Amino acid sequence: MSGIVTRFAPSPTGILHLGSARTALFNWLYARHYGGQFLLRLEDTDQARSTQESADNILSNLKWLGLDWDGDVVIQSQRQKRHQAIAQQLLDMGKAYRCYCTPEELTAMKEEALARGLHPTYDRRWRDRTDQPNAPFVIRLKAPLSGEMAFHDTVQGLVKVDAEHLDDMILLRSDGTPTYMLAVVVDDHDMGVTHIIRGDDHLTNGFRQMNVYTAMGWAVPSMSHIPLIHSDDGAKLSKRHGAIGIEQYRTDGFLPEAICNGLLRLGWSHGNDERIDQAQAIAWFDGTSLSKSAARFDCDKFLSLNGHYLRQRTLSHEGLESLWHDVIHEPLNAAAVPDILSDAACCIGKSILPALAVRATSLCSLRTQLIPYLTPCLENAPVLSGDDGRLLSVLIPLLHGLSPWTADCIEEFLRQWAKTQSISFGAVAKPLRLVLTGQPISPSLTDIMVALGKEITVLRMQNSIDASPCA
Ligand code: GLU
């Protein structure tokens, strides 16, 4: 195993959405590419906004996406004592100090700065004081007072900020709880994180965190700040743009491999390759080729990838079994499948699935197409009268006697029979298709007849002539 350690560090204050899933994916791929470790940490320092529901959502959707993590999930709040110890250590080393400003003082400081047209930062009034009143205090880091701070970001290049733009940030609040800025550095250090890939909304935090690393004399991990995902209208992707939660993509019938492939292409590229499966992604994702410009989310691309992966699954026995499992059991926004499926229904369903997948772009549409094949009779069987009805009545005994019941044999028979009746093959196929599937469009008629089997084929034809209740 290499020494590479990446991590995904979501705050459980909301669900796993496309942007955070992409961050997880990139860190996961990087670790897997180099044979390193991918760690998971729940950053619940904001106890008021953190919820178990969000944590559950994040974990279950990561699992669904196949982004497995190494070791146990680290819960940030359980490491509070360690964070406090580091704050104390910084204090002891003279690299941090106690600040006794009251909230009123801070507000007044802010207003005054704003009134003078200045950036409202803390004025460091306690930085060099040595008195220790018997009053609540916070612990602040002594940030550099002047000069330029710079670090090399693998995506953004050399990034710089004037030290005067960063104030002496709070490390420990007056109630003794650590701030995110302290906890994230201590945890990354303790967890041995070597590479951090995250959204560029954390770039400024990067400078602040750098100050903690420097003060502690710790090695700084490699930093990669990736541009956020934008929608096709150019704005930052948000709820306004519809589905952004991974869970919703799942219930909308997306496959995890399609989501991962789609996310991979948002901000990373390998030539013009669009379809990149997991194995290929692991082989190629070496941390280079991360884009510096914002990626645009395109739902149609995700749908087309989804269609591709639905069909991919039908190409192997295991893939087909997993597709069958998902189309039946996934919690989809689609009609429910019958509670109990007979062996015959499963057999018919599995054999027809590859043909149905040709046209499907989601598990939902696939399930909708599949349902008519899962029961012997169609729920709303069409009733044909007139010429079509007569055609069915004549065909029933002929098909009943047909042998062998193979696609070739059925097709040959129907073509010959159409000829003898001086009608086109289409004129025979159309009513048959309708009574067998309930739909005017379907996969190959003879494939359907083979999948349904002779008995059910004949039964459905029968039901559509005399409309007798299904036996
Ligand atoms: N907890 C932070 C967030 O959810 C991420 C922190 C980080 O990646 O450094 O945005």
Whose alpha carbon is nearest atom 4 of ligand 1?
Answer: 10
Q: Could you tell which of 15, 25, 198 is best to mutate to test the pocket of ligand 1, judged by most ligand atoms within 8 Å of the CB?
A: 198
Closest atom, ligand 1, to C-alpha of 20: 4
Poorest-pLDDT segment among 75-84, 153-162, 213-222, 461-470: 461-470
What's at 185, amino acid-wise? Answer: V
DSSP state of 6: E
CA of residue 19 to ligand 1 center, whole Å: 12
Can you read off the two tokens belonging to residue 281?
């992604």
Q: Could you tell which of 17, 20, 30, 43 is best to mutate to test the pocket of ligand 1, judged by most ligand atoms within 8 Å of the CB?
A: 43
- Phi first, then psi, for residue 288 (nearest 5°) are -95, 175
CA of residue 20 to ligand 1 center, whole Å: 9
**Gap between the terminal Cα atoms of the chain:** 63
**Considering the chain, what is the average pLDDT of its residues?**
94
Nearest to 83 by CA among 216, 250, 277, 199: 216
pLDDT band at 1 (very low <50, low <70, confident <90, very high): low
Enter the pTM of the model: 0.92
| β partners of residue 170 | 140
CA of residue 411 to ligand 1 center, whole Å: 61
Among all residues, which ones are annotated catalytic?
239
CA distance 15 to 317: 34
CA of residue 106 to ligand 1 center, whole Å: 27
Closest atom, ligand 1, to C-alpha of 205: 9
Closest atom, ligand 1, to C-alpha of 7: 8
CA of residue 98 to ligand 1 center, whole Å: 26
Nearest to 244 by CA among 228, 223, 224, 257: 228
Can you read off the two tokens belonging to residue 263?
């996310």
CA distance 30 to 3: 12
Q: Could you tell which of 15, 184, 185 is best to mutate to test the pocket of ligand 1, judged by most ligand atoms within 8 Å of the CB?
A: 184
- pLDDT of 434 over the 70 cut: yes
Helix (H) or strand (E) holding 285, with range, is none
Q: What is the pLDDT of residue 469?
A: 47
Q: Which residues contact 6 (CB under 8 A, 6 or more apart)?
A: 27, 28, 30, 31, 36, 37, 38, 39, 193, 194, 195, 196, 197
* 468 class by beta-carbon count within 10 Å (0-12 exposed, 13-18 middle, 19+ buried): exposed
Q: Could you tell which of 6, 7, 11 is best to mutate to test the pocket of ligand 1, judged by most ligand atoms within 8 Å of the CB?
A: 11
CA 85 to chain centre: 37
| β partners of residue 139 | 98, 172
287-316: pLDDT as tens digits:
999 999 998 999 999 999 999 999 999 999
Whose alpha carbon is nearest atom 6 of ligand 1?
Answer: 9
Mean pLDDT, residues 350-368 taken together = 95
Mean pLDDT, residues 373-399 taken together = 92
- Is the sign of the CA dihedral 378, 379, 385, 388 positive or negative? negative
Mean pLDDT, residues 116-143 taken together = 94
- pLDDT of 243 over the 70 cut: no
CA of residue 323 to ligand 1 center, whole Å: 34
Closest atom, ligand 1, to C-alpha of 198: 8
Can you read off the two tokens belonging to residue 410?
């059925």
Poorest-pLDDT segment among 64-78, 90-104, 230-244, 254-268: 230-244
CA of residue 61 to ligand 1 center, whole Å: 17
Closest atom, ligand 1, to C-alpha of 43: 1
Closest atom, ligand 1, to C-alpha of 184: 9
- pLDDT of 120 over the 80 cut: yes
Q: Could you tell which of 23, 202, 203, 209 is best to mutate to test the pocket of ligand 1, judged by most ligand atoms within 8 Å of the CB?
A: 202
- pLDDT of 217 over the 60 cut: yes
- C-alpha atoms less than 13 angstroms from C-alpha of 394 in its C-beta half-sphere: 14
- Is the sign of the CA dihedral 70, 72, 74, 80 positive or negative? negative
Mean pLDDT, residues 352-357 taken together = 94
Nearest to 147 by CA among 211, 218, 212: 211
Q: With beta carbons less than 8 A apart as the criterion, state whether 87 and 171 touch.
A: yes
Q: What is the pLDDT of residue 392?
A: 95
CA of residue 449 to ligand 1 center, whole Å: 55
pLDDT band at 121 (very low <50, low <70, confident <90, very high): confident
Nearest to 370 by CA among 310, 309, 304, 437: 437
CA of residue 9 to ligand 1 center, whole Å: 5
393-413: pLDDT as tens digits:
999 999 999 999 999 999 999
Note if the bond before 404 is cis, omega within 30 degrees: yes
Q: What is the pLDDT of residue 471?
A: 44
DSSP states of 320-345: HHHHHHHHHHS--SSPPPPSS--HHH
CA distance 344 to 421: 34
Q: What is the pLDDT of residue 156?
A: 97
- pLDDT of 467 over the 70 cut: no
Q: With beta carbons less than 8 A apart as the criterion, state whether 139 and 170 touch.
A: yes
Q: Return left, alpha or beta for 309; rule: phi > 0 is left, psi -120 to 50 is alpha, else beta.
A: alpha
Q: With beta carbons less than 8 A apart as the criterion, state whether 273 and 289 touch.
A: no
Q: How many residues does the structure list for the chain?
A: 471
Tell me the C-alpha to C-alpha distance, in Å, between residue 96 and each of 139, 180, 207: 7, 16, 17
Closest atom, ligand 1, to C-alpha of 180: 1
Within 6 A (CB) of ligand 1 lie 9-11, 43, 184, 198, 202
